[in-house]
Structure 1
């Protein structure tokens, strides 16, 4: 007997409360290092990408380790570095176009996994035979963390290692709830260094919350309002065709019944940025609309 699949998209409930990005309002040097581009960045060769990935991973982990070794943190007998941050560095400096590398996944994924890992470990620790149950606590921590990250669209592979370390590595287990702010601090430092180094020749992050179009712009945002009015005129008569996706230079229209994965939203956002960049380069005042 076949049953219909059950789907859940948390963004359908959250995105209505998330403000529209306004990075363009910052001074250009600041907005650039926050990932905003008024036109598509020029392509960078593979050798340059590998070189920047090497520099980024080195500098990012060096900063994290230096902070962890500071007197204010070292007194809690913290490790030199939490091992899962090594995997995080590969994502933040090498695979920067992946949805897994974006700030929402990096911060919230680590937060949820650390809380789950420490919480489950402490529950297992109530059993006097805990040392013989570590392996079960570790597997359960990763499984629950994986489900929570999937439900909240914050999948972050290094976070699975964080949950596992909380249960199976005595030095990390000894940190207890201190692991939560410690892993968040490490990831925030990696992201801060990534915003500086990755934006010298590349673009990072591609978005801070989601690649999907967010709530309409608020009154007073002149540039955003102009784009919104242009998008509205370009979609007049098109929104009735609920079997199509429409992309123009300022927004993406997706039928309400279509549920997109994060990488699919990212693809559409990249197409929108390319259209916007092409219009800026050609000086066209007309809105170019692409139907998918």
Structure 2
């Protein structure tokens, strides 16, 4: 009897160990498949297959030297300091985008909403994108996700905590403590920062968006329409940034995840491809050397 009991316990222990191993293997398989999917998704890029006039304004350039478009190549030959070019471009682009936002708010259906023009977040976004376009906080992922979380959180928190019927008097008199306006603003900002950190979309102008949406009576009154207003502004700023920055430089460097640093062999292949492309540009001016040009074309097609 004791031997039978020992055999049964051994079998039970063996079966439990086998089940645990199977569960562990299945979990590892799921994790590996998720990692491989994330790797493929982060490396997925359609821009090289698109026409030049589309891929250029989506932030794709094949070479490492980000030159202006052919209409503005004369800027490379002018002896104008780089800081002057950058400041003059930022001046024109920021003026254009704020003017566009004001025009859209004045002439579209947004003019019917009982709200002021939301220029405080727009100004913060413009400074971020046009002042430091290569910063991680200026990437499209950070801009769109960060502004989305900021506007959504402020709309939800104010719906729960505030009464928009009495809020106008409260804010105008400066009595923010009586209607929990201070709590709504503080809580909205705190939750927004946490969500931006968790989704890796930290965007400092989102702080202005969420605080303004928590203390302004008109923005509190429209509720979740505030999300649409903010996202419309973010898309307008992003669209003009992609047009302007890609005329003379490159924006964005990445859309969702930054590319991994190249290994030494990949760098050498990339340099070889760039040299072949430059040599092709020189040879295209002459009608001779057709065989060499064909070889260079095949070389650039094979090296990726």
Residue 157 of structure 1: CA displacement?
A: 0.6
Larger radius of gyration: 2
1:24 aligns to what? 48
> Does 2:63 match 1:39?
yes
Structure 2: gaps (5+ residues): 1-33, 68-75, 171-176, 277-295
> Does 2:263 match 1:247?
yes
Of residues 78-87 and 28-37 in structure 1, the stretch that sits farther from structure 2 once superposed is: 78-87
> Does 2:158 match 1:121?
yes
Query: How far apart, in 2, do the equivalents of 1:187 and 1:26 lie?
Result: 25
What RMSD, in angstroms, separates the aligned Cα atoms of the two structures?
A: 3.0
Q: Which secondary structure state, in structure 1, belongs to the residue aligned with residue 119 of structure 2? A: coil
> Does 2:229 match 1:182?
yes
Query: How far apart, in 2, do the equivalents of 1:171 and 1:156 lie?
Result: 24
Query: How far apart, in 2, do the equivalents of 1:73 and 1:128 lie?
Result: 21
> Does 2:239 match 1:192?
yes
Query: How far apart, in 2, do the equivalents of 1:276 and 1:54 lie?
Result: 39
Distance 1:81 1:246, change over 3 A: closer
2:145 aligns to what? 108
> Does 2:301 match 1:278?
no
Q: Which secondary structure state, in structure 2, belongs to the residue aligned with residue 206 of structure 1? A: coil
- Match 1:148 to one of 174, 183, 195: 195
Query: How far apart, in 2, do the equivalents of 1:169 and 1:13 lie?
Result: 45
> Counterparts of 1:73-88 in structure 2 under 5 Å?
73-88=110-125
Query: How far apart, in 2, do the equivalents of 1:123 and 1:53 lie?
Result: 40
Structure 1: gaps (5+ residues): 1-10, 214-244, 251-271
Equivalences, count: 224
1:206-259 deviation digits (Å, cap 9, x = unpaired): 11111135xxxxxxxxxxxxxxxxxxxxxxxxxxxxxxx762576xxxxxxxxx
Query: How far apart, in 2, do the equivalents of 1:71 and 1:58 lie?
Result: 20
1:121-155 deviation digits (Å, cap 9, x = unpaired): 11111599864311121011101100100010011
Residue 78 of structure 1: CA displacement?
A: 3.3
With the length of structure 1 as denominator, give the TM-score of the two structures: 0.68
Distance 1:118 1:196, change over 3 A: same
> Does 2:257 match 1:210?
yes
Asked if the contact 1:82/1:183 (under 8 Å) is kept, the reply is: no
Q: Which secondary structure state, in structure 1, belongs to the residue aligned with residue 202 of structure 2? A: coil
> Does 2:196 match 1:159?
no
1:83-111 deviation digits (Å, cap 9, x = unpaired): 11100001111210101001001001000
More helix per residue: 1 or 2? Answer: 2
Asked if the contact 2:164/2:220 (under 8 Å) is kept, the reply is: no
Query: How far apart, in 2, do the equivalents of 1:276 and 1:90 lie?
Result: 37
Query: How far apart, in 1, do the equivalents of 2:37 and 2:217 lie?
Result: 37
Query: How far apart, in 1, do the equivalents of 2:191 and 2:37 lie?
Result: 22
Query: How far apart, in 2, do the equivalents of 1:14 and 1:146 lie?
Result: 27
With the length of structure 2 as denominator, give the TM-score of the two structures: 0.66
Asked if the contact 1:39/1:276 (under 8 Å) is kept, the reply is: no
> Counterparts of 1:205-244 in structure 2 under 5 Å?
205-212=252-259
Q: Which secondary structure state, in structure 2, belongs to the residue aligned with residue 104 of structure 1? A: helix
Distance 1:246 1:53, change over 3 A: closer
